[in-house]
């Protein structure tokens, strides 16, 4: 079982349930890695049982997200991600109870590459990427990851090189809530201190010469190849928009 299951729910709740399932998995993995304090994976959830009173499992999930959002508004802040749509308290107690029981069965020590790919699949972000075609990034260089991949390329480079960081070397542009969610999950996985590296950017936004990302200098611009569903082409767009950057579409 790669992650928490998202069962059949009414269509209006599918985004909320998918977002919540992905974030619960990310918190549980971070707790096991000791980058977040034990709360979700605490034995028998003793702390929660002591103070919950009349609160129910959707409230616990909401509190976990709110606490984590203090430093990582993307993807844990319901407001940042699109409240009231993204609110765990919209989910029913039975589903949340099932998730809390299933957390202990997750492969929380799976490889980082497998974990990020599983999260991307849950969020329906493209995963067929030729990561090996990416170039080595030097510690002083800046990289823009285009909308479409949600930080997967940045994660690969950070995790395989070891001398660069998500926070210092990357800007991850995201064109949907799914990509923003994945980028935030990648940030937690990579130990980024906050989520400022993730920028909301619709595909059409980059056509504006005044857009903030068009005004910045990058050494590399990386993204999804058009043959795999990418929405940008080097010759027609990217070489004009980012004339000083090396463009790599994989």
More confident residue, 230 or 1: 230
What tens digit of pLDDT does each residue of 40-52 get? 998 878 787 777 7
**Hey, where are the domains in the chain?**
11-110, 131-249
Mean pLDDT of 165-182: 97
pLDDT of residue 234: 81
Q: Is the pLDDT of residue 1 over 60?
A: no
Q: Is the pLDDT of residue 142 over 90?
A: yes
Q: In which band, very low, low, confident or very high, does the pLDDT at 104 lie, cut at 50, 70 and 90?
A: confident
Q: Is the pLDDT of residue 124 over 60?
A: yes
pLDDT of residue 69: 96
Mean pLDDT of 227-232: 91
Fold of 131-249: Rossmann fold (3.40.50)
Mean pLDDT of 215-227: 96
* DSSP-assigned letters across all residues of the chain: --S-------GGGHHHHHHHHHHHHHHHHHHHTTSS-SSSSSGGGHHHHHH-TT--HHHHHHHHHHHHTTT-HHHH-HHHHTTTTS-GGGS-HHHHHHHHHHGGGS-TTS-HHHHHHHHHHHTT------GGGSPP--TT--EEEPTTSTTHHHHHHHHHHSS--HHHHEEEEESSHHHHHHHHHHHHHHT-SSSTTEEE--GGGGGSTTSTTTTS--SEEEE--GGGT-S--IIIIIHHHSTTSEEEE-
Average pLDDT, the chain: 93
Q: In which band, very low, low, confident or very high, does the pLDDT at 221 lie, cut at 50, 70 and 90?
A: very high
Mean pLDDT of 17-40: 96
What tens digit of pLDDT does each residue of 75-100 get? 999 999 986 678 888 999 999 999 99
Q: Is the pLDDT of residue 118 over 60?
A: yes
More confident residue, 12 or 187: 187
pLDDT of residue 83: 65
Mean pLDDT of 18-35: 97
């Amino acid at each position: 079982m790669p992650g928490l299951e998202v069962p059949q729910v009414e269509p209006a709740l599918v985004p909320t349930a998918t977002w919540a399932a992905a974030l619960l998995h990310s918190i549980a993995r971070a707790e096991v890695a000791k980058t977040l304090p034990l709360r979700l994976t605490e034995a028998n959830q003793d702390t929660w049982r002591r103070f919950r009173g009349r609160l129910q499992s959707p409230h616990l999930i909401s509190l976990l997200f709110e606490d984590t959002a203090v430093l990582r508004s993307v993807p844990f802040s319901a407001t940042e991600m699109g409240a009231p749509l993204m609110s765990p308290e919209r989910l029913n107690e039975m589903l949340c109870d099932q998730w809390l029981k299933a957390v202990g069965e997750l492969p929380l020590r799976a490889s980082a590459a497998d974990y990020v790919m599983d999260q991307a699949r849950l969020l329906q972000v493209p995963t067929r990427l030729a990561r090996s075609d990416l170039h080595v990034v030097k510690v002083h260089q800046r990289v823009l990851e285009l909308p479409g991949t949600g930080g997967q390329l940045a994660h690969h480079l950070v995790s395989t090189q070891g001398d660069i960081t998500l926070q210092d070397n990357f800007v991850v542009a995201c064109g949907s809530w799914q990509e923003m969610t994945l980028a935030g999950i990648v940030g937690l996985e990579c130990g980024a201190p906050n989520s400022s590296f993730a920028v909301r950017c619709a595909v059409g936004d980059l056509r504006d010469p005044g857009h903030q990302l068009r005004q910045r200098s990058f050494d590399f611009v990386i993204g999804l190849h058009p043959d795999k569903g990418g929405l940008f082409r080097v010759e027609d767009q990217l070489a004009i928009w980012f004339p000083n950057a090396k463009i790599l579409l994989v």
